[in-house]
Structure 1
Amino acid sequence: MMIVGMPNVGKSSLLNALRQVGVHKGKVAHTGAQPGVTRKIGTTVKIIEGDENSEGVYLMDTPGVFVPYVPNAESMLKLALCGSVKDTIIAPTTLADYLLYQMNLYDPAIYSDYASPTNDVTEFLNAVAHKTGRLQKGGIPDVEASALWMIQRWRNGQLGRFVLDEITAEILERERRDTEGLGSSLNQARRADKNMKRQRSKRSPEAA
Structure 2
Amino acid sequence: MSGRNPVLQEVLGIRPHLLVLNKMDLADPHQQSRVLEQLRQQGCSHVVFTECQRDTNVEKIVPLFAKLVSSSPRYHRAENAEYNIMVIGVPNVGKSSLINSLRRLHLKKGKATAVGGEPGVTKAVLTRIQVCETPLVYLLDTPGVLPPKLVSVETGMKLALCGAIRDHLVGEDIMADYLLYVLNRQQQFGYMERYGLPEASDNIRHVLKYVALTLGKTQKVKVLTGTGNVNMMMLNYSAAAYEFLRAFRAGHLGRVTLD
Give your verdict on TM over 0.5.
yes
**Where has structure 1 moved over 3 Å in runs of 4 or more?**
none
1:140 match: secondary structure: strand
Whether 1:20 aligns to 2:104 is yes
- CA offset at residue 19 of structure 1? 0.9
Aligned counterparts of 2:257 and 2:87: Cα–Cα separation in 1: 23
Whether 1:106 aligns to 2:186 is yes
Structure with bigger helix share is 1
- CA offset at residue 108 of structure 1? 4.7
Task: Provide, for residues 28-69 of structure 1, a one-character-per-residue CA deviation record: whole Å limited to 9, x for no partner.
Answer: 11000110000011111111104xxx6x11011000111111
- Cross-structure match for 1:66: 146
Aligned counterparts of 2:157 and 2:149: Cα–Cα separation in 1: 14
Task: Provide, for residues 116-159 of structure 1, a one-character-per-residue CA deviation record: whole Å limited to 9, x for no partner.
Answer: 31000111111211121101122311111111111011101111
Q: TM-score normalised to the size of structure 2?
A: 0.60
Spell out the pairing of 1:8-157 with structure 2 (5 A cutoff).
8-50=92-134, 56-112=136-192, 113-114=194-195, 115=197, 116-137=199-220, 138-157=232-251
**Structure 1 stretches lacking a partner, 5+ long:** 166-208
Report the AA paired with residue 91 of structure 1: G
Aligned counterparts of 1:70 and 1:13: Cα–Cα separation in 2: 25
Report the AA paired with residue 83 of structure 1: G
Q: TM-score normalised to the size of structure 1?
A: 0.75
| Cα root mean square deviation, aligned | 1.2
Number of aligned residues: 161
Report the AA paired with residue 236 of structure 2: D
Q: Do 1:108 and 1:117's aligned partners in 2 also have CA atoms closer than 8 Å?
A: no
2:185 match: secondary structure: helix
Report the AA paired with residue 118 of structure 1: S
Task: Provide, for residues 83-133 of structure 1, a one-character-per-residue CA deviation record: whole Å limited to 9, x for no partner.
Answer: 001111111010000010111122353011313310001111112111211
Percent sequence identity is 40
Aligned counterparts of 1:69 and 1:148: Cα–Cα separation in 2: 26
Report 1 or 2 for greater relative contact order, CA contacts < 8 Å, sequence distance ≥ 6.
2
**Structure 2 stretches lacking a partner, 5+ long:** 1-84, 221-231
Report the AA paired with residue 2 of structure 1: M
